[in-house]
Amino acid sequence: MRVTKITTMLLLACMTAMPAWADSSRILGTGGASTIEGAAGGGIVPWAALVGYGSEGEWGAAAFSTQLRVTDYSLDAKGLAISYNNRVEVSYARQNFDLGTLGDALGLSGHRFRQNVFGLKYRVSGDLIYGTLPQFSVGLQHKNHLDFAVPALVGGLRDSDDELYVSAAKVWLAGVLDRNVFLNITARYSRANQAGLLGFGGDLGDKRDVLLEGSGGFFLNRKLALGMEYRQHPENLGFSPQDAWKDVFVAWFPTKHLSVVAAHADLGTVATLPDQRGWYVSFAVSY
C-alpha cells in the first residue's frame, strides 16, 4: 500500500511539473484509459495502445485510481504505467477486493484481500490510426496475492501466476456517422479465476485457456468517447461458475493530462452470488 502511495505521489509530482515541457505528441484519446490491471486499455480489457501520449523518442505515463461497486462486492485499483518510444509499456496495479456480504456469510473476520499486477507490453507493429493494418501488441502480466486465505477457501490453487496476451487495435477516422470508431480485440492465455481475484486454476482445471476480450466504441467528439467491453473468464472452480464481464462506458479526455471514465458493469455471477452489477469510476492523470 505504502509503495503504491509513494510511487503514485511521485508520478503526480512529476506530472504537475510537466506542463513546463512540451506535451507528448500522440493525438488526444489514443493513450486509452487505465485498466484495473494497470495496462493502458479500456476498464477491463488491455489494448494494443500504449499508455500516455508518447511517440517516437518520447515518454508516456498515467497514474490512476479506479473504484468498482457491484451488488455484493467492491474493487479498488490504483497504479501507474509508463511507456517509451510508443514501443514498450511497464505497469503496476494494486487491487483491493472487498467481499462485503460474502465475508459475513463465510464468517470471515477480514473482508478484504489484495493482489499485485505487474505488466509489460510491447508494440510489435502498426499504428492505431495510420496504415491499413491494426496496431499489434503483446503483453505479459504477473499477478500475486498478498492475502490468499479467501481465494484458497473457494478453491483457487495458486496464489500467483503469469498470463500472456496479444492485442490488435484500430481507429477508423470518420468511420461511422463521421465519428472516429475504435475496436480492440485481445486474446489472453490465462487460468485466472475472476481476473485472478480468486486465484489461479482450480478443481475443474489448472491449464491456461485462450480467453477472448474486446472493446469498441466511438468518439462523439475529440474529448468524449462511448463504448463497451467484454471479457471472458475460464471455468476452473467447481465452487461457482464464472460469467463474462461486460460494461458500457463513457470516457472523457478534457486534456492529455486527465481522463475520467464512468461505466456500468455487469460481472454476472461472482463466487456464487449472481447478478453482480454496478458502477465503475476511474480517474487518471496522464502525460
Partner 1 sequence: MSHAKALHRRTEIRKPLVALLLACCLAALASNARAGTLYEDLGGNDGVVGVVDQFLWNLADDEHVSHYFVETNLERFRSKLIEYICVKAEGPCTYTGDSMERTHAHMGVTVTDFNVTVEALIHAMESQHIPTGVQNRLLKVLAPDYATVVQE
Residue ranges binding partner 1 (CB under 8 A) = 22, 25-27, 55-58, 86, 127, 129-131, 173-174, 177-180, 218-222, 226, 228, 246, 248, 250, 264, 266, 268, 274-275, 277
Closer to partner 1 by Cβ: residue 26 or 94: 26
**DSSP string covering 89-144, please?**
EEEEEEEEEE-THHHHHTT-S--EEEEEEEEEEEEEE--SSSSSSPEEEEEEEEEE
Q: How far is the CB of 109 from partner 1 (least distance, A)?
A: 32
Q: How far is the CB of 72 from partner 1 (least distance, A)?
A: 16
Angstrom CA distances, 221 to 28, 143, 249, stand at 11, 36, 15
Q: Residue 31 corresponds to which cell in the numbers above?
A: 493513450
Q: How far is the CB of 144 from partner 1 (least distance, A)?
A: 32
Closer to partner 1 by Cβ: residue 191 or 231: 231
* CB neighbours of residue 211 within 10 Å: 19
Name the nearest CA neighbour of 64 among 50, 48, 53, 80. 80
Rounded CA separation 10/21 (Å): 17
Closer to partner 1 by Cβ: residue 127 or 162: 127
In terms of DSSP H, where are the helices of the chain?
2-17, 101-105, 149-153
Q: How far is the CB of 35 from partner 1 (least distance, A)?
A: 20
Angstrom CA distances, 15 to 23, 42, 91, 120, stand at 11, 22, 16, 22
Q: How far is the CB of 183 from partner 1 (least distance, A)?
A: 15
Closer to partner 1 by Cβ: residue 205 or 216: 216
Residue 276's SS3 state is coil
Rounded CA separation 66/37 (Å): 10
Q: Is 85 exposed, middle or buried (0-12, 13-18, 19+ CB in 10 A)?
A: middle
Q: How far is the CB of 102 from partner 1 (least distance, A)?
A: 19
Name the nearest CA neighbour of 235 among 212, 203, 280. 203
Closer to partner 1 by Cβ: residue 62 or 93: 62
Closer to partner 1 by Cβ: residue 158 or 256: 256
Closer to partner 1 by Cβ: residue 26 or 143: 26
Q: How far is the CB of 149 from partner 1 (least distance, A)?
A: 29
Q: How far is the CB of 220 from partner 1 (least distance, A)?
A: 6
Q: Please check whether residue 44 is in contact with residue 71, taking contact to mean a CB–CB distance below 8 angstroms.
A: no
Closer to partner 1 by Cβ: residue 4 or 83: 83
Q: Residue 182 corresponds to which cell in the numbers above?
A: 475504435
